[in-house]
Structure 1
């Protein structure tokens, strides 16, 4: 009995491309895709946050460069 179970598990552990593609398709069908409006608004939000973060880092870097110039320059 144990040998039959081990043999069945060995056969299941092999890679089967058609099974893989079918399971991938099944999983993609479960995905809730965003609407166009949602995609655009969230993309704008991400771009805005990245721009604000980069600007803040730029300003802090310039401040510390100015402060270092005052102290060491």
Structure 2
């Protein structure tokens, strides 16, 4: 049998010198406490990295999205209310 050596994948990040991108790193350390602290620090770094990618909506987009949600919720309320009234009427006619 031959063993295959797993070479680290090149991710094409400029200036990485063989390091993995931030989101693919794993905590390093000798003992469990230092690994836990490193894991928490890595997690917070990854959270900040992902938050920097968030695109926030403009005021106009936010207002339009809010109106769409309110209209949809009102439409669903009316639909469910209508079904409730219909089923109440059917049950009253069948069992009364």
Q: TM-score, normalised by structure 1?
A: 0.70
More contact order relative to length (CA 8 Å, sep ≥ 6)? 2
Other-structure match for 1:11: 34
Q: Distance in 2 between matches of 1:72 and 1:49?
A: 34
Other-structure match for 1:64: 87
- Of the three residues 72, 77, 83, the one matched with 1:49 is 72
Q: Distance in 1 between matches of 2:35 and 2:53?
A: 24
2:57 maps to 1:38: no
Larger helix fraction of residues = 1
Query: What is the CA-CA distance between 1:13 and the residue it aligns to?
Result: 2.0
Give unmatched runs, 5+ long, in structure 1: none
> Aligned-residue CA RMSD in angstroms?
3.0
Query: What is the CA-CA distance between 1:29 and the residue it aligns to?
Result: 2.4
Count of residue pairs the alignment pairs up: 69
